[in-house]
């Protein structure tokens, strides 16, 4: 990878990681903090605060990792394809 | 090699990887089928009247033999196979193995128990032990996989250079993992003795045999493939009683979606019990007992004399009343077991006072199942508001601390070295979390269904007609289950029943009135959980000692073969040492588990994450950060844990030692930020990483062709 391509790649990786961590932290702080208030609402038979802590948050964690896996695969593939194309354009043979 | 050649070989290896995954899939499907056949056979055998001890022993012997067989098939002395399973473990299977590695005896036996006793507060463990996998996936696993090598201290050495970071890392790996492995072996002993009636010590050594066959013969390769089998056993063992209880209680086969109805029932029943006159009477009587025991403690000697006289008089009375023989025998046994010295008596009175005080609460001191932070009330008076806020802060602190500890547990981090590539490592974390989530979502549901059974059916029964499991478990250990007719009305009140957290899962089938083979199945699952974690931990400790310390500093020219043999010998030695310590049956062992999480978080989390994401992080920064984090965490525990306070003679008042009212159990929540701060400050003023270390950072961050 050229150094320009690297800095673009790393910037995007950090942005993705940061955004997902913000989601993660929001879930972790807001669900317990407002659990008592959320319990006033019923979610298919469960008090909402309890359900979010026992099941909802866990589903969000799974979703965060799923998004990360897909997004990172795409990001890496795109950066490598760009590099490949650049290498092809200058007709360099990879080692 | 030309580009087409590279692509062709990549396609080749991808095809062989998918063939491998398919073959593995078939094998484990076959394993699962045979396990199902074993269960069906045992269910039939019970119907036709096979003895209970035979059913228990069959489950134990057959499953442990299966693990040993897999371990034997995978025996190896090749270095890459031994340390990282050849780095060819497909993501899905690595996920299964990690899930078994991760879910310990404490998760399997303990989590539902904590939820049963503490209600909402117990969910901090569920969230902490799953949410940590997000940190692992986003911040650590794929980068460590690209780094390659074998252990976490390897990474510290390569990234920061010098010996010090690696040695501190290896020391922390050993300390953290050893505490944890002792707890696993304790769990193995508890389950084996419950399942077979062997003594606790014998049980430990039988279980240990199963552990050693895997890690000793085949290292990471054998451990990985047995762990996959162990996950299948433990998840079946957890879900069968859960679904069965759910069908019995609500007719639903999807308990995770429907146990809310039971939650509402429990809340209703809890409200009833809170105002029940008999329950209130029990609370008053228990308070009286606590006061009496307190008085006795003022003058132990004369209290002992008075108690002896009373016991003799009671036997005489029972005899003259022609009471049933069992009552007379019980009274005589009390005389035989009375405390004989003043020290013994003091201990007994103290225990009586403390247990009576703890139980002289509404709902026998258990928190309500759903209400969050029930110790306080945000709408109440100032003190109540303060308690509510303290409970809320402690919940979040414990949760975050467990998350960072989860992401930094060395035996889990090592697992992601075994995948095929970094993208596979990312997927693998996702699979791990999926399989772990399955059990952790089931734990609160199981706790709720068991509680419903206890509150609805057990409470209010005549004490003479209690189900058999009550007497069976109280014979095994009266600290786990005991019944005491405090108000003497012959009916069981909730306040009169002691049900320890450790029996909730193991006894769930009996509490719910399921057949005996389900009990044995659950015990086999608990054993699988304990064995799989013990295996992973033993290997991690042995590798830290042999690979990271001995063969680098003391004997650097050893051949690959002798490294493997060295590690094998250490596995054996550490397993024996851990078994000896577990046989002491140290109480309060769960405090040490939480301590292990705080220490792992403080030692590794800052140094690993900053090492990857911050180029400027330097060797001395890492050393100072790790030491500062460890010191703060350990210091906070030393000044806040009652056990350590008395041991070390800490005399400052407890209130002065607490920061923001956070309990010692979550000390990592201070250790990590302070570790980060120290690491950043020291890194900025010391020399940055060398050219070689910078190249390593690049190698971890950026993908290369054909990695996918």
* Mean pLDDT of the region A91-95: 46
pLDDT band at B690 (very low <50, low <70, confident <90, very high): confident
Structure-model confidence comparison of residues B674 and B646, the more confident one: B674
pLDDT of B621: 93
Chain B residues close to A21, C-beta within 8 Å = 134, 138
DSSP, residue by residue, B586-625: -S-HHHHHHHHHHHHHHHHHHHHHHHHH-TT--HHHHHHH
Residue burial B228-263, b: 16+ Cβ < 10 Å; e: rest: bbbbbbbbbbbbbbbbbbbeebbeeeebbebbbbbb
CB contact under 8 A, B702 and A6: yes
Q: Is the per-residue pLDDT at A92 higher than 50?
A: no
CB contact under 8 A, B126 and A72: no
pLDDT of B587: 56
How far apart, in Å, do the first and last CA atoms of chain A sit? Answer: 13
* Mean pLDDT of the region B698-703: 87
CB contact under 8 A, B123 and A53: yes
pLDDT band at B233 (very low <50, low <70, confident <90, very high): very high
Residue A36 touches chain B, beta carbons under 8 Å? yes
* Mean pLDDT of the region B132-159: 90
Structure-model confidence comparison of residues B218 and B428, the more confident one: B428
Q: For B131, which of A24, A51, A93 is closest by C-beta distance?
A: A24
ipTM attached to this prediction: 0.91
Give dist(CA A60, CA B659) in Å, integer.
31
* Mean pLDDT of the region B101-111: 87
Give whichever of A49-58, B14-23, B44-53 has the largest mean pLDDT.
A49-58
* pLDDT one-digit tens code per residue, A26-80: 999 999 999 988 888 888 789 999 999 999 999 999 999 999 999 999 999 888 8
pLDDT of B655: 67
Q: A29-33, B180-184, B229-233, B456-460: lowest mean pLDDT where?
A: B180-184
Chain B residues close to A13, C-beta within 8 Å = 701
pLDDT of A44: 79
Chain A residues close to B135, C-beta within 8 Å = 24
* Mean pLDDT of the region B616-633: 93
* Mean pLDDT of the region B63-76: 84
Question: CA of B407: how far to CAs of B132, B166, B704, in Å?
Answer: 5, 19, 26
Question: CA of B4: how far to CAs of A83, B399, B707, in Å?
Answer: 16, 50, 15
pLDDT band at B675 (very low <50, low <70, confident <90, very high): very high
* pLDDT one-digit tens code per residue, B507-551: 899 999 899 999 999 999 998 998 888 888 888 888 888 877 777
Q: B16-30, B429-443, B497-511, B633-647: lowest mean pLDDT where?
A: B633-647
Give dist(CA B160, CA B157) in Å, integer.
6
CB contact under 8 A, A10 and B134: no
Chain B residues close to A61, C-beta within 8 Å = 130-131, 133-134, 433, 437
pLDDT of B586: 63
Structure-model confidence comparison of residues B569 and B113, the more confident one: B113
Query: Chain B residue with minimal CA distance to A13?
Result: B701
Query: Chain A residue with minimal CA distance to B124?
Result: A53
* Mean pLDDT of the region B443-469: 91
pLDDT of B80: 76
Q: What is the mean pLDDT of chain B?
A: 85
* pLDDT one-digit tens code per residue, B245-290: 999 999 888 988 889 889 989 999 988 988 888 888 888 888 888 8
Shortest Cα distance, chain A CAs vs residue B423, angstroms = 7
Query: Chain A residue with minimal CA distance to B434?
Result: A62
Backbone φ/ψ region at B365: left (φ over 0), alpha (ψ -120 to 50), beta: left
Q: Is the per-residue pLDDT at A91 higher than 50?
A: no
Dig out the tokens for B122 from the structure. 């117990």
* pLDDT one-digit tens code per residue, B333-349: 778 777 778 888 888 88
CB contact under 8 A, A58 and B440: yes
Q: Is the per-residue pLDDT at B5 higher than 50?
A: no
DSSP, residue by residue, B492-537: --GGGEEE-TTHHHHTHHHHTT--HHHHHHHHHHHHHHHHHHHHHH
Phi–psi pair at B13, nearest 5 degrees: -70, -30
Residues of chain B with pLDDT > 70, as a percent, come to 95
């Amino acid at each position: 990878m050229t150094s320009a391509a690297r800095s673009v790649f790393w910037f995007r990786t950090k942005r993705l990681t940061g955004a997902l961590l913000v989601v993660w932290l929001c879930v972790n702080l807001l669900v317990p903090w407002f659990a008592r208030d959320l319990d006033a609402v019923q979610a298919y038979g469960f008090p909402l605060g309890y359900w979010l802590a026992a099941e909802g948050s866990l589903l969000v964690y799974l979703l965060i990792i799923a998004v990360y896996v897909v997004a990172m695969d795409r990001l890496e593939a795109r950066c490598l394809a760009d590099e490949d194309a650049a290498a092809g354009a200058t007709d360099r043979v990879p080692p | 090699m030309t580009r087409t050649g590279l692509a062709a070989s990549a396609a080749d290896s991808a095809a062989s990887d998918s063939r491998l995954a398919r073959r593995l899939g078939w094998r484990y499907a076959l394993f699962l089928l045979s396990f199902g056949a074993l269960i069906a056979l045992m269910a039939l055998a019970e119907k036709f009247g096979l003895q209970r001890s035979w059913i228990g022993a069959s489950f134990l012997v057959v499953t442990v033999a299966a693990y040993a067989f897999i371990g034997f098939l995978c025996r190896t002395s090749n270095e890459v196979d031994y340390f990282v399973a050849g780095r060819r473990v497909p993501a899905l299977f690595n996920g299964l193995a990690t899930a078994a590695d991760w879910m310990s005896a404490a998760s399997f036996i303990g989590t539902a128990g904590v939820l049963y006793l503490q209600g909402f507060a117990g969910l901090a463990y569920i969230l902490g032990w799953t949410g940590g996998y997000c940190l692992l996936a986003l911040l650590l696993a794929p980068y460590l996989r690209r780094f390659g090598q074998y252990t976490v201290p390897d990474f510290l050495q390569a990234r920061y250079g010098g010996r010090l970071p690696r040695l501190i890392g290896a020391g922390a790996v050993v300390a953290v993992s050893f505490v944890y492995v002792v707890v696993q072996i304790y769990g193995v002993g508890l389950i084996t003795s419950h399942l077979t009636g062997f003594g606790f010590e014998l049980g430990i050594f039988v279980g240990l045999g199963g552990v050693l066959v895997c890690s000793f013969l085949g290292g990471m390769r054998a451990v990985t493939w047995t762990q996959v089998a162990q996950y299948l056993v433990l998840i079946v063992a957890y879900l069968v009683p859960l679904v069965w209880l759910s069908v019995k209680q609500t007719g639903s086969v999807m308990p995770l979606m429907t146990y809310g109805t039971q939650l509402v029932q429990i809340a209703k029943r809890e409200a009833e019990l809170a105002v029940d006159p008999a329950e209130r009477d029990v609370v008053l009587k228990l308070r009286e007992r606590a006061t009496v025991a307190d008085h006795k403690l003022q003058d132990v000697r004369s209290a002992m004399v008075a108690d002896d006289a009373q016991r003799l008089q009671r036997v005489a009375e029972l005899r003259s009343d022609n009471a049933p023989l069992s009552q007379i025998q019980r009274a005589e046994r009390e005389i035989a077991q009375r405390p004989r010295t003043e020290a013994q008596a003091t201990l007994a009175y103290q225990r009586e006072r403390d247990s009576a005080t703890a139980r002289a609460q509404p709902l026998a001191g258990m928190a309500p199942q759903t209400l969050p932070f029930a110790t306080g009330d945000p709408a109440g008076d100032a003190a109540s508001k303060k308690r509510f806020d303290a409970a809320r802060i402690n919940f979040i602190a414990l949760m975050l601390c467990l998350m960072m500890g989860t992401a930094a547990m060395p035996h889990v981090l090592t697992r992601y070295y075994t995948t095929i590539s970094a993208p596979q490592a990312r997927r693998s974390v996702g699979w791990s979390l999926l399989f772990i989530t399955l059990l952790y979502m089931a734990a609160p549901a199981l706790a709720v269904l068991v509680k419903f059974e206890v509150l609805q059916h057990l409470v209010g029964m005549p004490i003479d007609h209690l189900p058999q499991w009550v007497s069976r478990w109280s014979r095994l250990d009266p600290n786990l289950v005991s019944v005491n007719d405090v108000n003497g009305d012959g009916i069981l009140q909730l306040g009169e029943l002691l049900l320890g957290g450790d029996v909730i899962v193991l006894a769930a089938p009996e509490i719910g009135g399921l057949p005996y083979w389900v009990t044995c199945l659950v015990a086999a699952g608990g054993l699988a959980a304990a064995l799989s974690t013990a295996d992973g931990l033993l290997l991690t400790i042995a590798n830290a000692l042999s690979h990271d310390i001995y063969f680098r500093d003391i004997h650097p020219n050893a051949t690959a073969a002798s490294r493997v043999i060295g590690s094998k010998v250490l596995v054996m030695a550490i397993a024996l040492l851990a078994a000896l310590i577990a046989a002491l049956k140290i109480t309060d062992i769960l405090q040490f588990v939480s301590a292990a999480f705080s220490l792992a978080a403080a030692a590794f989390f800052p140094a690993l994450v900053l090492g990857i994401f911050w180029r400027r992080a330097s060797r001395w920064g890492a050393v100072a950060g790790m030491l500062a984090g460890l010191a703060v965490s350990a210091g906070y525990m030393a000044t806040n844990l009652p056990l350590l306070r008395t041991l070390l003679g800490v005399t400052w008042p407890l209130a002065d030692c607490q920061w923001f009212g956070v309990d010692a159990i979550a000390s990592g929540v201070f250790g990590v930020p302070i570790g980060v701060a120290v690491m950043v400050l020291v890194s900025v003023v010391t020399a940055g990483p060398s050219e070689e270390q910078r190249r390593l950072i690049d190698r971890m961050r950026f993908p290369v062709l054909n990695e996918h």
